[in-house]
């Protein structure tokens, strides 16, 4: 059986004024279920046994009761007046042995007695002793030895309390000894005007040196109509803390430490560490937490809207986490003065949908971006060695600047005497009669760089930055006298041409039933095989690219909707079929392709 978790016993034997009055023990018990919850206002069933000699001794008397608990889980019965009796309560010789009361309780009122307790009867009932006494003699009380100390009614009234050596029923005691019928408080549990008992209900309970109040809230120094809200304790004045607890590892412990300078409040957090509060270092201004002292963070620091509790920092000491990452260096010097006051910013990725991923340093004051590294840049794209040598594409530069790859320059200034390793025909730098590079370095606004072969100017770069090929005075950034051939053309503005010609790329080799077309540097692909094929989408397209698929073969080419690496979105979400000599044109927005026309 399970033991009662919390038990309070009140045993009182009746005073026998007349021999015909039945004998009984008044017994009170607070009943809690196996989950330590009070069983209140409930009819319960109890089986009571008197055991002789020990807590597991012989049963000399047994009976059952069906009391109803009150609002505090307290049940009261009179042992000796129950039903289903075994034995004779009136014939128990209380002087013959030590006796124990065993109770078995079913909190549901049935006979499944799952709650059990055993309590020793520690004080012999005088009234019941008298029933088994063989004889009695009269004697002068003053001649007796080892008599109990007595206390007068005046002393009881003056003290306002009764000291007892065992738990008693206060109602019965007031009748037996003639004390004022008003209940008297237990020591430490109030006075006659503020009793520890209310009717037969326990308001306070005591365990060892600890007192407990579980019936409601506690107010100190507040009116009796005070509302508590969610609080259990409401204090009308200050609460004084003093002394540092001996153990500072219990989470939630709040204490005041007077030894810390001008005194500090501290609490113990969930990891058992002491956290100091107050002191004036931190304050909240317009919703921002501020401090005027240095802040030392011994662990990692996380900043950003998307930092979460329990963030995994790994080996990172500082982490920024949100969808727009920027660090601004805002120099507060007056920009109109002589102090340097330029503002700079570290930028991570574009903030717009479909933008580029990169690391950049922005000149905020002048609205420029002097440094940028795009995502996916290869190893050692830019490397500075410990000796100051710079490598582009290499991490072991052997010269002040070493480039692993092709160098493309807008202009070259110098006599070229230090250039080595240049190979080629008569246009090489060694043949100065055939090639001339001229640079105007004067301070005026006139001048140009002219590239000549055979004493004839072939290309000119003007002082304004215009480039002319076959034109001596170009009026735009690039002016070509003749035809031009480009692998691809990108224009951010309007493109005006008289005629455009471009090559058609054939796609007859891939005869798979399902294909994706690589559109790298392509404008038109002609599929000229005789089988039916499904085109699931395109690959390697760039934003703004326009691309045409033409079917000159006998097989039907079906372009599916919203499939493949770079999917195609089609009108009505319906697949597009191209019969022989039919084509369709598509436009890429950087995410998907759109069908903009079908050519029958």
- Looking at every residue in the chain, the average pLDDT score rounds to 78
Lowest mean pLDDT among 96-100, 160-164, 595-599: 160-164
Position 141 pLDDT exceeds 80? no
CB 62 within 8 A of CB 85: yes
Average pLDDT over residues 284-296: 79
Structure-model confidence comparison of residues 4 and 104, the more confident one = 104
Confidence of residue 262 (pLDDT cuts 50, 70, 90): low
Give dist(CA 168, CA 180) in Å, integer: 16
| 400 CA to centre of own chain | 51
Give dist(CA 397, CA 389) in Å, integer: 6
Q: What percent of the chain has pLDDT over 70?
A: 73
pLDDT of residue 178: 42
Position 86 pLDDT exceeds 70? yes
pLDDT of residue 428: 43
CB 181 within 8 A of CB 195: no
- Write 11-17 long-range contacts (CB < 8 A, 24+): 11/101, 11/121, 11/123, 11/166, 11/167, 11/168, 11/169, 12/168, 12/169, 12/172, 12/173, 12/176, 13/125, 13/126, 13/127, 13/128, 14/127, 14/172, 15/127, 15/176, 16/127, 16/130, 16/131
Residues 6 or more apart in contact with residue 429 via CB below 8 angstroms: 416, 419, 422, 435
CB 172 within 8 A of CB 76: no
CB 115 within 8 A of CB 36: no
Most confident range, picked from 41-55, 260-274, 275-289, 509-523: 41-55
Lowest mean pLDDT among 173-182, 311-320, 485-494: 173-182
The secondary structure of 249-288, three-state, reads: CCCCCEEEECCCCCCEEEEECCCCCEEEECCCCEEEECCE
Per residue in 558-576, pLDDT tens?
999 999 999 999 999 999 9
Give dist(CA 345, CA 369) in Å, integer: 9
CB 13 within 8 A of CB 50: no
Most confident range, picked from 57-61, 150-154, 226-230, 449-453: 57-61
Position 97 pLDDT exceeds 90? no
pLDDT of residue 422: 56
Give dist(CA 586, CA 519) in Å, integer: 11
pLDDT of residue 405: 87
Query: Roughly how many angstroms between the first and final C-alpha of the chain, as a whole number?
Result: 91
CB 203 within 8 A of CB 213: yes
- Cα four-point dihedral sign 546, 552, 553, 559: positive
Residues forming beta bridges with residue 204, ordered by sequence position: none
| 234 CA to centre of own chain | 32
Give dist(CA 46, CA 112) in Å, integer: 10
Q: Which helix (H) or strand (E) holds 173?
A: helix 170-177
In the sheet that holds 368-374, the strands lie side by side as 325-329, 344-348, 358-363, 368-374
CB 530 within 8 A of CB 553: yes
Per residue in 326-354, pLDDT tens?
999 999 998 888 899 999 999 999 988 88
In the sheet that holds 401-403, the strands lie side by side as 383-384, 390-392, 401-403
Beta pairing, strands 546-551 & 524-527: parallel
The radius of gyration computed from the CA coordinates of the chain, to the nearest angstrom, equals: 50
Average pLDDT over residues 357-369: 94
Residues forming beta bridges with residue 304, ordered by sequence position: none
CB 37 within 8 A of CB 194: no
User: Does the pTM of the predicted model rise above 0.75?
Assistant: no
pLDDT of residue 8: 41
Position 202 pLDDT exceeds 60? no
Give dist(CA 292, CA 294) in Å, integer: 7
Confidence of residue 556 (pLDDT cuts 50, 70, 90): very high
Give dist(CA 10, CA 170) in Å, integer: 9
Q: What percent of the chain has pLDDT over 90?
A: 33
- Write 181-184 long-range contacts (CB < 8 A, 24+): 184/156, 184/160
């Amino acid at each position: 059986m399970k033991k009662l978790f919390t038990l309070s016993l009140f045993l009182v034997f009746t005073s026998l004024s007349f021999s015909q009055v039945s004998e009984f023990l008044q017994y009170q018990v607070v009943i809690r279920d196996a989950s330590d919850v009070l069983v209140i206002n409930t009819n319960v069933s109890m089986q009571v046994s008197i055991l002789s000699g020990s807590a597991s001794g012989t049963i000399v008397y047994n009976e059952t009761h069906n009391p109803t608990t009150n609002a505090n889980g307290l049940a009261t019965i009179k042992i000796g007046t129950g039903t289903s009796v075994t034995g004779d309560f009136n014939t128990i010789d209380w002087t013959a042995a030590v006796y124990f009361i065993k109770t078995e309780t079913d909190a549901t009122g049935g006979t499944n007695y799952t709650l059990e307790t055993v309590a020793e009867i520690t004080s012999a009932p005088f009234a019941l002793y008298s029933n088994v006494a063989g004889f009695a003699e009269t004697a002068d009380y003053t001649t007796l030895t080892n008599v109990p100390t007595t206390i007068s009614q005046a002393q009881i009234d003056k003290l306002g309390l009764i000291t007892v050596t065992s738990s008693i029923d206060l109602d019965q005691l007031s009748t037996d000894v003639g004390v004022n019928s008003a209940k008297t408080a237990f020591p430490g549990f109030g006075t006659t005007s503020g009793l520890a008992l209310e009717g037969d209900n326990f308001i306070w309970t005591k365990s060892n040196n600890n007192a407990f109040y579980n019936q409601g809230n506690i107010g100190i120094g507040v009116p009796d109509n005070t509302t508590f809200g969610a609080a259990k304790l409401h204090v009308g004045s200050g609460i004084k803390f003093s002394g540092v607890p001996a153990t500072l590892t219990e989470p939630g412990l709040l204490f005041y430490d007077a030894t810390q300078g001008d005194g500090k409040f501290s609490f113990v957090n969930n990891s058992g560490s002491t956290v100091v509060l107050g002191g004036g270092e931190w304050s909240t201004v317009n919703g921002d937490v501020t401090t005027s002292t240095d802040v030392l963070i011994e662990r990692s620091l996380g900043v950003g809207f998307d930092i979460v509790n329990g963030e995994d920092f790994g080996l990172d000491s500082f982490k920024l986490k949100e969808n727009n990452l920027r660090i601004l260096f805002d120099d507060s010097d007056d920009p109109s003065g002589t102090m340097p006051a330029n503002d700079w910013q570290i930028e991570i990725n574009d903030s717009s949908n479909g933008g580029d991923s990169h690391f950049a340093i922005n000149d905020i004051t002048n609205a420029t971006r002097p440094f940028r590294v795009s995502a996916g840049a290869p190893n050692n794209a830019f490397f500075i060695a410990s000796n100051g040598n710079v490598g582009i594409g290499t991490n072991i530069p052997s010269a002040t600047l070493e480039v692993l790859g092709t160098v493309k320059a807008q202009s070259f200034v110098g006599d070229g005497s230090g250039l080595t390793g240049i190979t080629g025909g008569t246009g090489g730098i060694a043949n100065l009669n055939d090639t001339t590079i001229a640079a105007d370095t004067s301070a005026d606004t006139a001048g140009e760089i002219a590239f000549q072969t055979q004493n004839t100017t072939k290309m000119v770069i003007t002082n304004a930055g215009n480039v002319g090929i076959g034109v001596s005075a170009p009026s735009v950034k690039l002016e070509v006298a003749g035809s031009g051939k480009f692998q691809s053309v990108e224009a951010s503005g309007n493109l005006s041409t008289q005629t455009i010609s471009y090559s058609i790329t054939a796609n007859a080799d891939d005869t798979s039933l399902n294909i994706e077309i690589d559109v790298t540097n392509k404008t038109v692909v002609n599929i000229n095989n005789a089988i039916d094929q499904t085109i699931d989408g395109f690959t390697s397209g760039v934003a703004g690219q326009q691309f045409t698929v033409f079917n000159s073969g006998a097989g039907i080419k079906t372009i599916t909707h919203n499939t493949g690496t770079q999917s195609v979105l089609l009108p009505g979400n319906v697949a597009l079929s191209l019969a022989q000599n039919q084509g369709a044109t598509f436009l890429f927005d950087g995410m998907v392709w759109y069908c903009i026309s079908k050519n029958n």
